[in-house]
Amino acid sequence: MVEIVNVVASGALNVELDLERLADDIGEPVARHDPDKYPGMYLRFEEDAPLITVYRTGKFIITGADSEDESYSLRERFLNLFSDMDVIEEPEDEWFAVQNYVCTGELDQNLNLNALAIGLGLEKTEYEPEQFPGLIYRPEGAEGVVLLFATGKVVITGCRSVESVEEIFASLTETVSEVL
């Protein structure tokens, strides 16, 4: 089974924003804005809640959600806030989509990463333990990238859908049991 640990989604409002003024109106700690450090304005409704990064152009990113649903409800809350503040006319955006799922998985066995690099195919893997302890696996024809660790723990990232993640994990489980 795979568990979603992070969802990155982005969208766009059809307006140019005055981040300086918005940050002042919303106030800390919900809004944080330091244009010398980064051009985006950060919005976080509660402590440990996902982060919304808003740009001058009206585009925005939501990071740190644990599910697609959480991303969408965060987006709704964000649109309602801007609508209530009369920043936008209706609580609507031009578009909104999940861009990246970060998931963890468990293969329930210790892995010999050197052997696995050969088994999975050297052209699809990168393993330099002195640089990073995980093996990087890029399954052919798949959206995502997999990080495999000697403990059997796995990280799958780069997919735009949960289906893609599960597809990768299923074929990974199969391939690993075949080559080891």
Partner DNA sequence: TGAGCGGCTCCTTATATATCAGCTTCGG
Partner DNA sequence: CCGAAGCTGATATATAAGGAGCCGCTCA
Per-residue CA distances from 77 to 11, 50, 73 (Å): 14, 12, 6
Among residues 13, 81, 155, 168, which is the contact residue for DNA, using CB under 7 A? 155
The Cα–Cα gap between 61 and 96 comes to 9
What gap in Å lies between CA 69 and CA 142, rounded to an integer? 24
Question: What is the total count of residues that contact DNA (CB under 7 A)?
Answer: 41
CA 90 to each of CA 23, 61, 82: distance values in angstroms, whole numbers, following the listed order: 20, 19, 9
Identify which of residues 157 and 169 has a Cβ nearer to DNA in the complex.
Answer: 157
Q: What is the dihedral of CA 25, 27, 69, 16, to 10 degrees?
A: 40
Q: What CA–CA distance (Å, rounded) separates 125 from 59?
A: 35
Query: Minimum distance from CB of 20 to DNA (Å)?
Result: 12
**Segment interacting with DNA (CB under 7 A) among 34-42, 83-91, 114-122, 170-178:** 34-42
29 touching DNA, by CB under 7 A: no
Min CB(23)–DNA separation in Å? 14
User: Is there binding between residue 139 and DNA (CB under 7 A)?
Assistant: no
Three-class secondary structure of residue 71 per DSSP: helix
Determine which residue in the list 26, 30, 136, 162 makes contact with DNA, applying CB under 7 A: 136
Closest contact distance (angstroms) between CB of 175 and DNA is 19
Q: Of 42-101, which residues contact DNA (CB under 7 A)? A: 42, 48, 50-51, 53, 55-57, 59, 61, 63-64, 99-100
Least distance CB 102 / DNA (angstroms): 4
The conformation of residue 18, written as its DSSP 8-state character, comes to -
Q: Can you tell me which of 70, 150, 167, 175 binds DNA, judged by CB under 7 A?
A: 150
Angle in degrees, 0-180, between the axes of helices 113-120 and 162-179, rounded to the nearest 10: 110
Residues 104/155, Cβ–Cβ less than 8 Å: yes
Binding interface with DNA (CB under 7 A): 5-6, 8, 10, 37-40, 42, 48, 50-51, 53, 55-57, 59, 61, 63-64, 99-100, 102, 104, 126, 129, 131-134, 136, 144-145, 147, 149-151, 153, 155, 157-158
